[in-house]
Amino acid sequence: PVDIQDDGKPRGLHFFSINANIRRQFEFLQETWCNNPRFNSLYDNKDPIIGDNDGSGHMTIQRSLIRKRINNLPRFVTVKGGGYFFMPSITAMQFMVNCG
C-alpha cells in the first residue's frame, strides 16, 4: 500500500530454484525475460523487481490503447550473493537409500 511508512527495518528475500537444466531454465529466464530491455516488443525496459536495474530504469505498463511509462525506477532488489548447488539425481538418491 502507498500510505505505509518505511520503518527502516531491513527486508530480505531468498530465492531457490530446482532445475533439470540450469542453462535452459533459470539462465534463459534471467537473460531473455528479466534483463532483456527489448523483451515483449519493448525498447528499453528491464523487469522492475528482479531485473539488473541501476536506478535510472523505465517500466512500460502495456495496455491495448494507452501505455503508461514510469521513469527512473529505483533499485528494489540488491543481490548479495548467489551460487549453483547441485543435487544427486533421483537414481543416485535411490541407490543411497538402498545401500543402508
How confident is the model over 74-99, as a mean pLDDT?
A: 87
**pLDDT score, position 94:** 92
Residue 97 in any domain: the answer is: no
Residue 35 in any domain: the answer is: yes
Residue 2 in any domain: the answer is: no
Residue 89 in any domain: the answer is: no
Question: Domain span at residue 70?
Answer: 8-78
Of the pLDDT bands very low, low, confident and very high (cuts 50, 70, 90), residue 97 is very high
Residue 90 in any domain: the answer is: no
- Does the pLDDT value for residue 1 go beyond 80? no
Residue 88 in any domain: the answer is: no
Nearest to 50 by CA among 62, 69, 36: 36
The cell numbers describing 49, all together, are: 523487481
Per-residue pLDDT tens digits for 22-40: 889 888 888 888 777 777 7
Residue 22 in any domain: the answer is: yes
Q: Residue-wise over 66-84: b if at least 16 C-beta within 10 A, else e? A: eeeeeeebeeebeeeeeee
Low-confidence winner among 1-5, 71-75, 82-86 (lowest mean pLDDT): 1-5
Per-residue pLDDT tens digits for 37-67: 777 777 778 787 877 778 777 888 887 778 8
**pLDDT score, position 13:** 79
Number of domains present in the structure of the chain: 1
